[in-house]
Amino acid sequence: MTNVLIIDTKAGNLFSLRAAIERLGFNVTILQQPNAEFFDAIVIPGQGRFGTVINNISKNRWLDYLKNAYENKLPILGICVGMQIFFEASDEDPNINGLSWFKGKTQALNFPKKPMVGWATLSSQLKTWANKSVYFVNSYAIKESEHSIAETTYGETFCAAIKKGSFTGVQFHPEKSSEVGSQIIFEALTAGNTND
Amino acid sequence: MINCLMPRVIVCLDVDNGRVVKGTNFKQLKDMGDPVELAVEYEKQGADEIVFLDISASNEKRPTALKLVTDIANHLSIPFTVGGGLKKLNDVKAFLDAGADKVALNTTAVLKPEIIDQTALAYGSQCVVVAIDVDKKNEELKYYINGGRKLVDKDFYQWTKEVADRGAGEILLTAMHKDGTGSGFDNELTQSISQQVSVQVIASGGAKNEQHFLEAFQQGADACLAAGMFHSGEYRVDQVKQYLIDNGLQVRI
Residue B27 confidence (pLDDT): 56
Using the beta-carbon criterion (under 8 Å), do A120 and B78 form an inter-chain contact? no
CA-based end-to-end distance of chain A? 25
Element (H, E) at A59: helix A50-59
Using the beta-carbon criterion (under 8 Å), do A133 and B97 form an inter-chain contact? no
**Cβ neighbours of residue B37 closer than 8 Å, sequence gap 6 or more:** none
C-alpha span between B221 and B213 (Å, rounded) = 9
How confident is the model over A60-94, as pLDDT tens digits?
Answer: 999 999 999 999 999 999 999 999 999 999 999 99
pLDDT band at A26 (very low <50, low <70, confident <90, very high): very high
- The answer to whether the Cα torsion of B82, B193, B124, B2 is positive or negative is positive
Indicate the burial class of B149 (C-beta count within 10 angstroms; 0-12, 13-18, 19 or more).
Answer: exposed
- Mean pLDDT in chain A? 94
Cross-strand partners of B19: B16
How confident is the model over B191-221, as pLDDT tens digits?
Answer: 999 999 999 999 999 999 999 999 999 999 9
Residue B25 confidence (pLDDT): 53
Using the beta-carbon criterion (under 8 Å), do A133 and B252 form an inter-chain contact? yes
Phi, psi of B200 (to 5 degrees): -75, 145
- As a whole number, mean pLDDT of residues A137-161 equals 97
- Say if residue B24's pLDDT is above 60: no
Sketch out chain A's domains with CATH numbers. 3-190 (3.40.50.880)
Cross-strand partners of B151: B144
How confident is the model over B138-189, as pLDDT tens digits?
Answer: 999 999 999 899 999 999 999 999 999 999 999 999 999 999 899 999 999 9
Q: Please identify every residue of B annotated as catalytic.
A: 14, 133
Using beta carbons and an 8 Å cutoff, which residues of B are at the interface with A? 1-6, 8, 43, 48, 70, 73-79, 96-99, 101, 123-126, 169-170, 198-200, 222-223, 250, 252
A66-92 burial: b if 16+ Cβ within 10 Å, else e: beebbeeebbbbbbbbbbbbbbebbeb
A175 in catalytic set = yes
Task: Average the pLDDT over each of A24-28, A54-58, A77-81, B84-88 and give the range with the smallest value.
Answer: B84-88
- Residue from B102, B78, B81, B48 nearest B250 by CA: B48
Residue B76 confidence (pLDDT): 96
Residue A103 confidence (pLDDT): 98
